[in-house]
Amino acid sequence: MEGLTILVVDDDPVVLHLLTQRLLNAHYEITTATNGSEAASQIQQKRFDVIITDMVMPGDIGGIELIDIAKEQDSETEVILITAHSSINTAVSAMKKGATDYLEKPINFEELFLRLDKISEIRSLLKMPVTYEKQWKLPKLQLPKPSKA
């Protein structure tokens, strides 16, 4: 699915390049950041539909902190965390903070694209106006009058 604006954040240049190229090839609009501080600055300047971020990065701002920053700026931004340091506790913590999803490195791109398609589909459905009456021109239901026996 096309049309999503995505911020990709990772301090590993190889992972950042690989993610960026795969997403660009799938026709997504991509912005990149190499650390949490740079990502926070990008989030303040531009609205993103999705943020794909490494969980553990050098500095004061990691993936968990980016969830808070992103949701404070726009509660509809979806955040997908990626990490090589996975555990049940960190996954639960990320989801409680508002992460949409959690993926382990090495990244399974088929899984990532399925999640992005799902996000795109949900956003499309939420934008559709609810006009069933006009669209289908349903007749009014008339109940039969009770007979006098």
- Helices and strands per DSSP (H, E), number in the chain: 6, 5
Kindly state whether residue 98 falls inside one of the protein's structural domains: yes
Kindly state whether residue 149 falls inside one of the protein's structural domains: no
Kindly state whether residue 148 falls inside one of the protein's structural domains: no
Q: What confidence category does residue 49 fall into, taking pLDDT thresholds of 50, 70 and 90?
A: very high
CATH number at residue 97: 3.40.50.2300
Kindly state whether residue 116 falls inside one of the protein's structural domains: yes
Average pLDDT over residues 10-21: 97
Between the two ends of the chain, the Cα-to-Cα distance in Å is: 63
Q: Contact, 49 vs 6, CB < 8 A?
A: yes
Kindly state whether residue 146 falls inside one of the protein's structural domains: no
Kindly state whether residue 142 falls inside one of the protein's structural domains: no
Q: Which domain holds residue 78?
A: 5-136
% of the chain surpassing 90 pLDDT: 66
Kindly state whether residue 143 falls inside one of the protein's structural domains: no
Q: What confidence category does residue 124 fall into, taking pLDDT thresholds of 50, 70 and 90?
A: confident
Kindly state whether residue 68 falls inside one of the protein's structural domains: yes
Mean pLDDT of the residues in the chain: 87
Q: Is the pLDDT of residue 83 over 90?
A: no
% of the chain surpassing 70 pLDDT: 84
Q: What angle do CA 85, 87, 35 make, to 5 degrees?
A: 35
pTM across the whole model: 0.82
In the prediction, which pLDDT does 1 show?
45
Q: Is the pLDDT of residue 143 over 80?
A: no
Average pLDDT over residues 46-69: 95
Number of domains in the chain: 1
In the prediction, which pLDDT does 135 show?
54
CA 54 from centroid of its chain's CA atoms: 14
* Top-confidence range, 98-107, 111-120, 131-140: 111-120
